């Protein structure tokens, strides 16, 4: 068995087609007629642009618009004036086209690879791809096309470039194995869009596997099984069928409203960490965003993002969502979320310490910069503000006062924003759950954060293996916190959602429906599964299940009971 990165779900069973790139080596040679060499270079660029346009059109049909845009990104790189102009300068200085273009591309690859931003590093792979494409044309090397591969082919290749992926015919290629690339590489994105199981970064796969060898690719588990036994073939054939059945069943929930079995409607939104994740929300049929974790904008960089940078990010998410709701949570740092450049003091007890809203209220300028950016973006969509880690009413009041102050400043400056923007809170501390009756009078909405609420209620750190057994949202104590929060929110007439992981827990869903949760916020890939789970129950059935579950004494009893009820309903 060979282990790799699970990059595209599903199971593929087939025979290996090893794709070896022809050598693109060349011997640099001086040119006698630089002007003619520039022409040869330009004509190669034009040929590659034409090829790439064909690839983009093909991808638009097989994978989708977003995937085609990856190839169109290649065209922009090919047209890049710096890359093109500098190459031509080098040629005019006497270098051959191969040498000039290679050295310019290598320089760009070096620059992009050293950048911190994942997207920029991805550009390095794109430049390598166009460099290979152009050298192939200049050297007259026949291109590897996989469009003629027979049915049941598993592609094995060192590095899967978007231009190779573009040649894939969906019905014939049943799996992809590579030696490089991660979950967020363009190859992974394309494999997912084409719904082909893929295991990337499988160590030394090219030397360990052979052309024509039978193989199983488990893209969900990230494993490759060469020469499977009869039993393994049976096992994985069954797994594949179960996977395909489930996917087809879930697809029936695409484009539908989120309804209980009695027709009661719920909101099913998503948690995101970056503005571009809003695209994933739409791809997975989410109805909006219930939690934008803005701390990700502050991570992996060396300085606080400016108001403009933040505004651009919030606006981008709002524009992608086209009027669908977008709840932006203000900076939630501290605890396990470190931002080195803020210079936070080391604390004995970081989860109990100077974090989230506590930090923001003491760092007013940083906080107001974020509020200004969110308010400005509110002119472009249905944006709401949410404060993390609230433990007392004073924190909510202080946060709201800063929102009001910021609004006044924007009004004076004549900058547009939504004057009626709602300000809600996360209920993720035991304190907030206990005083949810009073908080509900001053918050526009609640969103229950079970990830933290479970830890704070059970007084256990989930990173500590010795106490991890306590960390469960099915603990009677946590269930009571959840029930109380939803009841108090309802009594005050405000919507109550949940954005912790528990919102997608199929065992907990009937309880949440019974308690009166109105909004479920889950990771984008969980949308259809959650919609299906919700569709199983009427409110009346959910009430019966909740009553029984709440009468049980231990987490184990609750888990056993709910798992029995859920299995029976499937
Ligand atoms: C939570 O605590 O449940 C939550 C959603 O916030 P985070 O996971 O970002 O701490
Ligand atoms: Mg939290």
What is d(CA 241, CA 258) in angstroms, rounded to the nearest whole number? 27
Does residue 9 lie within any of the structural domains?
A: no
CB neighbour burial string for 250-289, b if at least 16 within 10 angstroms, e if fewer: eeebeeeebebbeeeebbbbbbbebbebbbbbbebbbbbb
**Residues 6 or more apart whose Cβ sits within 8 Å of residue 150:** 172
Residue 110 shares a structural domain with residue 163: no
Ordered DSSP codes for 386-446: EESS--SHHHHHHHHHHHHHHHHHHHHHT----TT--EEEEE-SHHHHHTHHHHTTT-S-E
Q: Which residue out of 332, 447, 482, 519 has the highest number of ligand 1 atoms within 8 Å of its CB and is therefore the one to mutate?
A: 332
**Closest ligand 1 atom to the C-alpha of 502?**
3
> Mean pLDDT score of the chain, rounded to an integer?
93
- Model pLDDT, residue 145: 67
- Model pLDDT, residue 187: 74
User: 536 alpha carbon to ligand 2 midpoint, in Å?
Assistant: 29
Q: Pick the catalytic residue from 186, 360, 460, 533.
A: 186
Does residue 471 lie within any of the structural domains?
A: yes
- Indicate whether residue 499 lines ligand 1 (CB < 6 A): yes
The model's pLDDT over 145-155, given as tens digits with 9 standing for 90+, comes to 677 789 999 99
Does residue 257 lie within any of the structural domains?
A: no
Residue 527 shares a structural domain with residue 455: yes
pTM of the model as a whole: 0.75
Q: Which residue out of 277, 449, 502 has the highest number of ligand 1 atoms within 8 Å of its CB and is therefore the one to mutate?
A: 449
Q: How many CB atoms lie within 10 A of CB 336?
A: 11
Question: Ligand 1, atom 1: nearest CA belongs to which residue?
Answer: 449
Residue 401 shares a structural domain with residue 532: yes
- Model pLDDT, residue 143: 66
What is d(CA 57, CA 217) in angstroms, rounded to the nearest whole number? 28
- Model pLDDT, residue 299: 86
Closest CA to 413 of 384, 377, 376, 370: 376
Residue 268 shares a structural domain with residue 233: no
Residue 330 shares a structural domain with residue 418: yes
User: 333 alpha carbon to ligand 2 midpoint, in Å?
Assistant: 10
Residue 162 shares a structural domain with residue 135: no
Ordered DSSP codes for 474-488: TSHHHHHHHHHHHHH
Does residue 308 lie within any of the structural domains?
A: yes
Q: Tell me, what CATH number does 160's domain have?
A: 3.50.30.10
Closest CA to 468 of 455, 478, 450, 453: 455
186 catalytic? Reply is: yes
- Indicate whether residue 355 lines ligand 1 (CB < 6 A): no
Residue 222 shares a structural domain with residue 272: no
**pLDDT mean over 507-529:** 96
- Model pLDDT, residue 144: 61
- Model pLDDT, residue 339: 86
Residue 268 shares a structural domain with residue 325: yes
Residue 303 shares a structural domain with residue 227: no
Closest CA to 390 of 313, 445, 464: 445
**Residues 6 or more apart whose Cβ sits within 8 Å of residue 459:** 470
The answer, yes or no, to whether residue 253 has pLDDT greater than 80, is: yes
**Exposed, middle or buried by CB within 10 Å (0-12, 13-18, 19+), for 186?**
buried
Domain that holds residue 554: 264-569
- Indicate whether residue 451 lines ligand 1 (CB < 6 A): yes
What is d(CA 375, CA 406) in angstroms, rounded to the nearest whole number? 8
- Model pLDDT, residue 292: 97
Last residue of a domain, one of 139, 172, 189: 139
Closest CA to 435 of 481, 369, 388, 401: 481
In contact, 143 and 22? CB cutoff 8 Å: no
In contact, 200 and 5? CB cutoff 8 Å: yes
Question: Ligand 1, atom 8: nearest CA belongs to which residue?
Answer: 451
User: 462 alpha carbon to ligand 1 midpoint, in Å?
Assistant: 13
**Closest ligand 1 atom to the C-alpha of 293?**
9
The answer, yes or no, to whether residue 23 has pLDDT greater than 90, is: no
499 catalytic? Reply is: yes
Residue 423 shares a structural domain with residue 285: yes
The model's pLDDT over 157-185, given as tens digits with 9 standing for 90+, comes to 988 877 777 778 778 999 999 998 877 77
The model's pLDDT over 316-353, given as tens digits with 9 standing for 90+, comes to 999 999 999 999 999 999 887 888 898 888 888 889 99
Does residue 95 lie within any of the structural domains?
A: yes
Residue 457 shares a structural domain with residue 328: yes
- Indicate whether residue 293 lines ligand 1 (CB < 6 A): yes
- For 94, left (φ over 0), alpha (ψ -120 to 50), or beta? left
Question: Ligand 1, atom 9: nearest CA belongs to which residue?
Answer: 293
The better pLDDT of the pair 73, 410 is held by: 410
Does residue 36 lie within any of the structural domains?
A: yes
Q: Which residue out of 277, 296, 428, 517 has the highest number of ligand 1 atoms within 8 Å of its CB and is therefore the one to mutate?
A: 428
User: 387 alpha carbon to ligand 2 midpoint, in Å?
Assistant: 10
Q: Tell me, what CATH number does 80's domain have?
A: 1.10.274.10
**Exposed, middle or buried by CB within 10 Å (0-12, 13-18, 19+), for 327?**
buried
Does residue 520 lie within any of the structural domains?
A: yes
Q: How many CB atoms lie within 10 A of CB 152?
A: 16
Best-predicted range by mean pLDDT among 133-142, 311-320, 329-338?
311-320
**pLDDT cut 70: percent of the chain above it:** 99
- Indicate whether residue 99 lines ligand 1 (CB < 6 A): no
What are the distances in angstroms from CA 115 to CA 124, 162, 341?
10, 21, 18
**Residues 6 or more apart whose Cβ sits within 8 Å of residue 440:** 446, 488, 489, 491, 492, 494
- Indicate whether residue 295 lines ligand 1 (CB < 6 A): no
Last residue of a domain, one of 217, 250, 283: 250
Residue 132 shares a structural domain with residue 158: no
What is d(CA 249, CA 173) in angstroms, rounded to the nearest whole number? 23
- Domains identified in the chain, total number: 3
Last residue of a domain, one of 189, 224, 250: 250
Least confident range of 81-95, 159-173, 194-208, 487-501 = 159-173
What is d(CA 448, CA 436) in angstroms, rounded to the nearest whole number? 11
Q: Grade residue 102 by pLDDT with cuts at 50, 70 and 90.
A: very high
Q: Tell me, what CATH number does 309's domain have?
A: 3.20.20.60
- Indicate whether residue 131 lines ligand 1 (CB < 6 A): no
**pLDDT mean over 35-43:** 95
Which residue stretches of 166-306 are H helix? 186-193, 205-208, 230-251, 277-283, 295-298
Does residue 360 lie within any of the structural domains?
A: yes
């Amino acid at each position: 068995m060979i282990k790799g990165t699970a990059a595209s779900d599903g199971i593929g069973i087939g025979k290996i087609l090893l794709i070896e790139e022809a050598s693109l080596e060349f011997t640099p040679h001086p040119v006698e007629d630089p002007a003619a060499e520039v022409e040869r270079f330009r004509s190669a660029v034009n040929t590659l642009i034409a090829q790439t346009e064909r690839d983009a059109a093909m991808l638009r049909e097989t994978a989708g618009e977003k995937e085609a845009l990856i190839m169109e990104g290649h065209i922009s790189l090919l047209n890049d004036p710096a890359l093109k102009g500098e190459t031509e300068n080098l040629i005019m200085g006497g270098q051959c086209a191969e040498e000039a273009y290679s050295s310019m591309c290598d320089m760009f690859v070096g620059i992009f690879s050293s950048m911190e931003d994942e997207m920029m590093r991805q550009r390095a792979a794109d430049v390598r791809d166009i460099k290979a494409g152009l050298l192939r044309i200049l050297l007259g090397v026949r291109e590897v096309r996989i469009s003629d591969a027979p049915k049941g082919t598993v592609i094995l290749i060192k590095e899967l470039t978007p231009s190779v992926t573009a040649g894939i015919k969906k019905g014939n290629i049943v799996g992809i194995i590579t030696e490089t690339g991660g979950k967020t590489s363009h190859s992974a994105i394309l494999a997912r869009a084409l719904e082909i199981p893929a295991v990337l970064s499988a160590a030394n796969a090219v030397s360990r596997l052979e052309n024509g060898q039978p193989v199983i690719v488990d893209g969900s588990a990230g494993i490759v099984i060469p020469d499977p036994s009869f039993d393994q073939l049976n096992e994985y054939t069954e797994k594949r069928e179960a996977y395909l059945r489930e996917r087809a069943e879930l697809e029936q929930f695409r484009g539908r409203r989120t309804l209980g079995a009695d027709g009661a409607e719920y909101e099913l939104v998503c948690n995101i960490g970056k503005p571009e994740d809003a695209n994933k929300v739409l791809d997975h049929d989410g109805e909006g965003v219930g939690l934008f974790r803005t701390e990700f904008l502050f991570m992996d960089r060396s300085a606080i993002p400016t108001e403009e940078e933040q505004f651009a990010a919030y606006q981008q998410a709002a524009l992608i969502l086209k009027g669908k709701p977008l709840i932006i949570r203000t900076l939630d740092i501290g605890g396990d979320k470190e931002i080195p450049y803020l210079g936070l003091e080391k604390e004995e007890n970081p989860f109990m310490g100077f974090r989230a809203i506590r930090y923001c209220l003491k760092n007013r300028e940083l906080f107001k910069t974020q509020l200004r950016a969110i308010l400005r973006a509110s002119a472009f969509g249905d944006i709401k503000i949410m404060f993390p880690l609230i433990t007392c009413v004073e924190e909510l009041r202080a946060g709201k006062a800063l929102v009001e102050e910021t609004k006044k400043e924007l009004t004076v400056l004549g900058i547009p924003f939504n004057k009626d923007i709602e300000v809600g809170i996360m209920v993720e501390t035991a304190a907030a759950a206990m005083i949810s009756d009073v908080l509900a009078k001053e918050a526009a909405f609640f969103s229950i954060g079970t990830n933290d609420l479970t830890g704070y209620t059970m007084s256990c750190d989930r990173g500590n293996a010795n106490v991890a057994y306590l960390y469960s949202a099915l603990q009677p104590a946590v269930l009571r916190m959840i029930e109380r929060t939803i009841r108090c929110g309802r009594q005050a007439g405000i919507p109550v959602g949940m954005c912790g992981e528990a919102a997608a827990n199929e065992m907990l869903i009937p309880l949440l429906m019974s308690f009166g949760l109105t909004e479920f916020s889950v990771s984008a890939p969980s949308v259809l599964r959650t919609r299906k789970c919700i569709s199983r129950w009427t409110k009346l059935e959910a009430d019966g299940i909740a009553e029984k579950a709440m009468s049980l004494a231990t987490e184990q009893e609750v888990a056993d009971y709910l798992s029995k009820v859920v299995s029976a309903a499937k």
